[in-house]
């Protein structure tokens, strides 16, 4: 059993670590925001604008989930320090147990220190685009989609398809999905970039070794217009007739929407929904999300400062290689993390790769 003096030192050190970590997580500022929104929700006319009210209530709920564990931890260690100040030897056993519980809770919460980015606790919009490699690349895009869906399932996240374009013979030309779950963007943001596959091609008669590329875009889902302000004058909006699957009304009405952000050249086209209005809203959400991601990449304070993305899904731009032949290996070129369990990775076991990237960014 620890002596009272040793316990006081341990409690003081734990309190300092907790408060430092809470400061990095901006818990006080987030809690103030929560209190302000809760006060607003008590106003008599709060539910006049039902859509805005629901958005506010969702933000309150998210803030409560984020700050409450930290506030309870800070209060818990403060209570222990106060009890230790009484110098009551009969409390030593109980206080030692409480310190152990608080240290364990802090160890779990410290994982959140990896997610201190402005959008890390947002849902994610994930897009995959087949690159150089023809049918093999389109098949590779389909394999990546399965990998991320399986990873989402392992995290008990939900997945919704926003838009999809099938490959000519196999796989996908492109696909966009929404992944909803705790810190979805924070965990997936390191997947943003070009992914390279080396294997024996199943699509040629000679079974030759083939290198294929696919580009993965990870964006925080920004569905509130005031989070990323876009000037309407910077947009060109085109409406056209949808093609492909979707039912009779989709194929016979001008419901598809293409939005071009003129300053950056970003183009978002959506045709999955039957309603032109729904497609427009979805396209605007994706555009805001892409601009938010571009701001993070280019460290720009203003949308007008952004330059259009120009990364190609081809040689020289890959962030990770997946080799199925002549040996088995997955290697991340940024963190240098590698594993021979490529089958597990392609089945959604991305935890080690995700953690390696998060620790790499913390250290850099």
Quick one: pLDDT band at residue 247, thresholds 50, 70, 90? very low
Q: Where are the domains of the chain?
A: 4-114, 124-224+328-363, 228-305
Instruction: Output the pLDDT for position 304.
Output: 64
Contact 266, 259 (CB under 8 A): no
Which residues have a Cβ under 8 Å from the Cβ of 177 and sit 6 or more positions away? 125, 126, 127, 145, 148, 149, 159, 160, 161, 162
Quick one: pLDDT band at residue 28, thresholds 50, 70, 90? very high
pLDDT in tens, 173-229: 999 999 998 889 999 999 999 999 999 998 877 778 889 999 999 999 988 777 788
pLDDT in tens, 100-152: 999 999 988 888 778 878 889 889 999 999 997 789 999 999 999 999 999 99
Quick one: pLDDT band at residue 250, thresholds 50, 70, 90? very low
Quick one: pLDDT band at residue 244, thresholds 50, 70, 90? low
pLDDT in tens, 272-297: 766 888 889 899 999 999 998 888 88
Instruction: Output the pLDDT for position 87.
Output: 83
Instruction: Output the pLDDT for position 189.
Output: 93
Question: Which CATH number is associated with domain 228-305?
Answer: 3.30.160.20
Fold designation for 124-224+328-363: Alpha-Beta Plaits (3.30.70)
Q: Indicate if 228-305 has the same CATH topology as 124-224+328-363.
A: no
Q: Which residue has the higher pLDDT, 252 or 86?
A: 86
Report the distance separating Cα 49 and Cα 40, nearest Å. Answer: 13
Superfamily of structural domain 4-114 = Release factor (1.20.58.410)
Report the distance separating Cα 124 and Cα 126, nearest Å. Answer: 6
């Amino acid at each position: 059993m620890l002596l009272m003096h040793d316990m006081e030192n341990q409690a003081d050190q734990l309190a300092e670590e907790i408060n430092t970590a809470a400061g990095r997580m901006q818990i006080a500022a987030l809690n103030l925001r929560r209190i302000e929104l809760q006060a607003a929700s008590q106003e008599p006319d709060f539910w006049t604008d039902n859509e805005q009210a629901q958005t506010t209530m969702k933000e309150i709920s998210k803030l409560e989930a984020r700050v409450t564990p930290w506030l309870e931890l800070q209060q818990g260690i403060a209570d222990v320090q106060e009890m230790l100040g009484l110098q009551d030897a009969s409390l030593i056993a109980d206080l030692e147990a409480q310190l152990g519980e608080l240290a364990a809770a802090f160890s779990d919460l410290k994982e959140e220190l990896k997610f201190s980015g402005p959008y890390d606790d947002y849902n994610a919009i994930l897009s995959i685009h087949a690159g150089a490699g023809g049918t093999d690349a389109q098949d590779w895009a389909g394999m990546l989609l399965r990998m991320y869906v399986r990873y989402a399932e392992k995290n008990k996240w939900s997945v919704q398809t926003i838009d999809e374009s099938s490959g000519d013979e196999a796989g996908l030309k492109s696909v966009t999905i929404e992944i909803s779950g705790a810190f979805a963007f924070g965990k997936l943001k390191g997947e943003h970039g070009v992914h390279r596959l080396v294997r024996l091609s199943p699509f040629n008669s000679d079974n030759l070794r083939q290198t294929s590329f696919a580009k993965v875009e990870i964006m925080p889902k920004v569905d509130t217009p005031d989070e990323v302000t876009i000037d309407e004058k910077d947009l060109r909006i085109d409406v056209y007739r949808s093609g492909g699957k979707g039912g009779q009304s989709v194929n016979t009405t001008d419901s598809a929407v293409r939005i071009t952000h003129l300053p950056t050249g970003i183009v978002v086209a959506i045709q999955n929904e039957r309603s032109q209005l729904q497609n427009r809203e979805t396209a605007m959400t994706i555009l805001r999300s892409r601009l938010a991601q571009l701001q993070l990449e280019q460290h720009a304070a203003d949308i007008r400062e952004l330059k259009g993305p120009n990364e190609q899904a081809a040689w020289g731009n890959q962030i990770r290689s997946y080799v199925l032949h002549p040996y088995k290996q997955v290697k991340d070129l940024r963190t240098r993390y590698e594993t021979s369990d490529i089958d597990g990775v392609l089945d959604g076991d991305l935890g080690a790769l995700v953690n390696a990237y998060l620790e790499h960014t913390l250290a850099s």
